[in-house]
Structure 1
Amino acid sequence: MEKLTMRTEEVKTNISEEERVKAEEKTKRFQEKLQQLGSELESTQDNDKLTQEDVLHKGTTRRNSREKYRRISGRSGDTKNRVNEFENL
């Protein structure tokens, strides 16, 4: 009975590993396809027809995404500080 249980767990582990690999490959394909479609879209865009609002939106979107990344990446020390403050109470 113990061998059967171990074998079942091994099969579950192998299946989940195979599923993970398949999902990872699928994600890579989708990312490549998305990048390709994005570059195709950029090449068809006529910059002469951009309005002032389009230019403003493009700049704001880039700036906000950089700030968001900076806020997320800068949080590692904050959590430690909050935990230490709580423990010191």
Structure 2
Amino acid sequence: MHIDQLSANELASQLESLQEQYSKLHSLGLSLDLTRGKPGADQVALSNVLDGILDGNYLAADGTDTRNYGGLDGLAEAKALFGAVLGLPP
């Protein structure tokens, strides 16, 4: 039966069931990154031998693995550096 054909009692029952499922999942305390196409640490580790001066330190100040391009917002350190070079306000 489609959701728009359920009675108020059936909808309430479905809501309660879904809230229980959510509570169980939430209680696991998982920290999942579901970013599409983002390589795992084991994948980017393939290029570790090419790092040169980085000497294995790939983490930004906030703990972001910089080998993953810094996410949508970019790397805070790079923005601060080039902001200063370009005379932008912090």
Under a length normalisation based on structure 1, what TM-score does the superposition of the two structures give? 0.36
Decide which structure has greater helix share.
Answer: 1
Taking structure 2 as the reference length, the TM-score comes to: 0.36
